[in-house]
Amino acid sequence: MTLEIVVMIKQVPDSQEVVIDPVTFTLNRSAARNVINPADENAIEAALRIKDREKDVHITVITMGPPFAESALLDAMARGVDDAILVSDRAFAGADTYPTGLTLAATITKMGKFDIIFAGEESTDSSTGHVGPGVAEFLGIEQASYTSNTWIEDGFVYAERELEDGIETVRMKPPCLITVLTNSNIPRNPTLRMKIDSFRKGIKTWSLADIELKPEWVGLKGSPTVVKSMRTINEKKREGKKFKAGEMDKFVEELVSKGILKL
Amino acid sequence: MVGLVNAEPPENPGEYKNVLIFLETRQGKLAKPGLEMISVGSAIAHKVNEELIGIVMGNKIENLVQEAGEHGCDRVIGLKSKDLEDFRTIPYSVNLSELIAEFKPNILLIPATRNGRDLASRIAVRSKTGVTADCTELDIDPAERILQARRPTYGESTLAEILCKRHRPQMATARPGIFSVPERDPRRKFVSEIRKTTIKKEFLKKEIVGFKPRSTLDLTSAKIIVSGGLGLGKPNGFKLLEELAGEIGASIGASRPTVDMGWIERDHQVGQTGQSVRPDIYIACGISGKAQHIMGMRLSKNIVSINTDAGAELNSISDYIINEDLYKVIPELVQAIKRRKSGENKPAETPA
């Protein structure tokens, strides 16, 4: 029987290209390209490694996003993912973590059978880490979050969770959801051959009607939280006083005399 | 399992009262991030004349319940079962949800640790409510009893205030290292209750089959931190930092890439996914200053950047910049400190 894997990904502005403006201390992301969220690349790789080792594995990558998120899905297919679904509808705009999880869970339910769902630990643009486990709750399945390694043995899914005080190994029967840590593996590159194949094969696009949720359940309307205000965090003024390697006596004296360093 | 349903606000949110906090345990002890919820949780609860209720789950929890009360919870509920000895998502979320249904708290605070976030995500869905992640400021509007949950966003440049007006409980996770742990006082009065519980087999399908503990280093209370980044160029670059740290009594910090490359243990990691630190002095050695790192150290009182790259982003938030090779700078700095200590380098007295 085919092992069905779903990988949930998100397209984000490339954080390598997002720079902090030294004057206003705000993020300048206008120049940034859109890429697969870094942790989601590791999630795709974790799924592909299972496909490398096990027989009869089928991987579908899904994302909720605007039409241009198609490029993230094609990128995933060019790395070896079999199929891709873009869930896209104006009604999804402005969703917080609850309706985002609901939309993805409804998509997976609509897809039919699934055994393992992978997701990145969190996205670089909102950094909550809530969507993956939220999907597991909507679907009523087990989960292992913050994992650095996953494998299958005797019909069980094993995962290593990296916690603050140690590494926990857990064992679960599928279906289950796994969130994968950023940099926990080295994602493979797309190949030209598979890029061509992915363009030929294309992706599926589903709308709100396809996943059968009510319009008021998703997007901004379905979100329990609202952003009331944003304020710039007042940076302490920092002088950036320069010292040379040959002036370390002077530097130490400065720190000591100002009470910054006590010797 | 809630099924595929929307977030439903209760008919009468006014019924929801008090602040509930989840006191995370690690290896049978109350973990610091959970205790940090007591200071912020009690400030919020007492501002509107409500109670702070602490929840402790585990097997041998009698002392932990006492400890939570002595740190400042008005009420502590202990759930005791051998199946709750270690954190597992489903038994913990099912039991916490039952307590939410019973106590109807207005606010639920959970530390934004890995297990805390794991739990909070599922509780929010089970309770059909909203959750604001990784808050650094939490307050309450006393008139409406609405939680003002503030979290840094866009790489710490902006603080967003997020409200959950109609759904209950109003949930937030709080970033570790931001809020203080109140002093433990054995004279403090509190109400406590320990309930024995049994967990249904169906909730225990995930088994923990191994645990490899690792040393844990608390950087959040360090006064001086010497921190290394990829600019060290090689794993044993940290040896040089240790030499400097030894001279000034500093702890060693690290950027995420050096941890990911295995140059140093993860408990040294400073940043969004590591520890948030605010020492008197933070000496960044070969750290370019990606947003994720800056988020965890920008509140340091003084920042020193040692980096060959004059354009390093970290320089823009530094009090002192030494724009040269750290392998040249640090030995010079160590020697200068030694000279200062031995009095060789006492400058002439200058008028104050």
**Tens-digit pLDDT profile for residues A121-160:** 999 888 899 999 999 999 999 999 999 999 999 999 999 9
Q: Report the percent of chain A where pLDDT is more than 90.
A: 83
Q: How far is CA B329 from CA A218, B251, B319, B325, in A?
A: 56, 19, 17, 6
pLDDT digits (tens, 9 = 90+) for A82-108: 999 999 999 999 999 999 999 999 999
Which residue in the set B5, B134, B317 is minimally distant from A238, CB to CB? B317
Mutate to test the interface with B, among A164, A182, A217, A262 (most CBs of B within 10 A): A164
Distance CA A85, CA A107 (A): 9
Across the range B297-315, mean pLDDT stands at 93
The DSSP element (H or E) to which A250 belongs, if any, is: helix A248-257
DSSP A53-100: HSSSEEEEEEEES-GGGHHHHHHHHTTT--EEEEE--GGGTT--HHHH
pLDDT digits (tens, 9 = 90+) for B151-173: 988 666 688 999 999 999 999 99
| Inter-chain touch A15–B294, beta carbons under 8 Å | no
Backbone torsions φ then ψ of A230, nearest 5 degrees: -130, 135
Using the 8-state DSSP alphabet, how is residue A117 labeled?
A: E
Among the ranges given (A108-112, B207-211, B266-270, B321-325), the one the predictor scored with the smallest mean pLDDT: B266-270
| Inter-chain touch B324–A136, beta carbons under 8 Å | no
Describe the strand order of the beta sheet including B281-285 as a list of residue ranges. A241-243, B320-322, B302-306, B281-285, B224-228, B251-254
| Inter-chain touch B152–A233, beta carbons under 8 Å | yes
Q: What residues in B contact A26, CB-CB < 8 Å?
A: 154, 157-158
Using the 8-state DSSP alphabet, how is residue A156 labeled?
A: E
Q: How far is CA B182 from CA B20, B37, B41, B158, in A?
A: 17, 9, 11, 28
Distance CA B321, CA A184 (A): 33
Distance CA A91, CA A221 (A): 9
Residue A80: name the closest of A53, A120, A44 by CA: A44
Amino acid A43: pLDDT: 98
Tell me which residue has tokens 């709080």. Answer: B174
Per-residue pLDDT at B346 exceeds 90:
no
| Inter-chain touch A27–B154, beta carbons under 8 Å | yes
Amino acid A237: pLDDT: 81
Distance CA B260, CA B249 (A): 26
Across the range B47-71, mean pLDDT stands at 98
Peptide bond into A38 cis (omega under 30): no
Using the 8-state DSSP alphabet, how is residue B300 labeled?
A: -
Amino acid B352: pLDDT: 46
> What number of residues does chain A have?
263
Mean pLDDT, all residues of chain A: 92
Q: What is residue B228's three-state secondary structure?
A: strand
Per the DSSP assignment, residues forming a β-bridge with A150 are: A159
The DSSP element (H or E) to which B195 belongs, if any, is: strand B191-196
Cβ neighbours, 10 Å, residue B346: 10
> What number of residues does chain B have?
352
Distance CA B281, CA B250 (A): 9
Given a contact cutoff of 8 angstroms between Cβ atoms, the answer to whether A188 and A78 are in contact is: no
Per the DSSP assignment, residues forming a β-bridge with B212 are: A167
∠ CA A131-A134-A138 to the nearest 5 degrees? 135
Task: Dig out the tokens for B325 from the structure.
Answer: 């090779």
From A235's Cα to the closest Cα of chain B, the distance in A is 8
Q: What residues in B contact A213, CB-CB < 8 Å?
A: 4
Using the 8-state DSSP alphabet, how is residue B269 labeled?
A: B
Task: Dig out the tokens for B84 from the structure.
Answer: 């709750």
Across the range B259-272, mean pLDDT stands at 90
Distance CA B18, CA B53 (A): 7
Q: What residues in B contact A128, CB-CB < 8 Å?
A: 117, 131, 133-134
Distance CA A45, CA A187 (A): 5
* Domain range list for chain A: 3-217
From B331's Cα to the closest Cα of chain A, the distance in A is 9
Encoded amino acid at A216, one letter: E
- Give the CA count within 13 Å in the CB-facing half-sphere of B318: 26
Cα B172 from chain centre: 13
Residues 6+ apart with CB under 8 A from B98: none
Mean pLDDT, all residues of chain B: 93
pLDDT digits (tens, 9 = 90+) for A21-48: 555 555 565 667 899 999 999 999 999 9
Amino acid B347: pLDDT: 58
| Inter-chain touch A164–B216, beta carbons under 8 Å | yes
Amino acid A18: pLDDT: 63
Distance CA B172, CA B130 (A): 8
| Inter-chain touch B157–A253, beta carbons under 8 Å | no
Mutate to test the interface with B, among A15, A30, A109, A137 (most CBs of B within 10 A): A137
Q: What residues in A contact B291, CB-CB < 8 Å?
A: 15, 18, 20, 27
E-state strands within B39-185: 52-58, 75-80, 107-111, 131-135, 137-141, 146-153, 158-163, 170-174
Peptide bond into A175 cis (omega under 30): yes
Distance CA B59, CA B82 (A): 5
| Inter-chain touch A248–B333, beta carbons under 8 Å | yes
From B161's Cα to the closest Cα of chain A, the distance in A is 5
Cα B36 from chain centre: 8
**Inter-chain CB pairs, A–B, below 8 Å:** 278
Cα A72 from chain centre: 12
Q: Which residues of B231-252 are buried (b: 16+ CB within 10 A; e: fewer)?
A: bbeeeebbebbeebbebbebbb
| Inter-chain touch A97–B273, beta carbons under 8 Å | no
E-state strands within chain B: 19-22, 25-26, 29-30, 52-58, 75-80, 107-111, 131-135, 137-141, 146-153, 158-163, 170-174, 191-196, 207-213, 224-228, 251-254, 281-285, 302-306, 320-322
Backbone torsions φ then ψ of B302, nearest 5 degrees: -135, 135
From B188's Cα to the closest Cα of chain A, the distance in A is 30
Tell whether the torsion through CA atoms of B284, B289, B295 and B299 is positive or negative: positive
Amino acid A89: pLDDT: 97
| Inter-chain touch B3–A228, beta carbons under 8 Å | no
Q: What residues in A contact B110, CB-CB < 8 Å?
A: none
Q: What is the pTM of this model?
A: 0.86
| Inter-chain touch B121–A134, beta carbons under 8 Å | yes
pLDDT tier at B343 (50, 70, 90 boundaries)?
confident
| Inter-chain touch A171–B281, beta carbons under 8 Å | no
A3-217 has CATH 3.40.50.620 classification: yes
pLDDT digits (tens, 9 = 90+) for B68-112: 999 999 999 999 999 999 999 999 999 999 999 999 999 999 999
Per-residue pLDDT at B1 exceeds 80:
no
Task: Dig out the tokens for B255 from the structure.
Answer: 């950027």
Distance CA A213, CA A230 (A): 31
| Inter-chain touch B89–A101, beta carbons under 8 Å | no
pLDDT tier at B266 (50, 70, 90 boundaries)?
confident
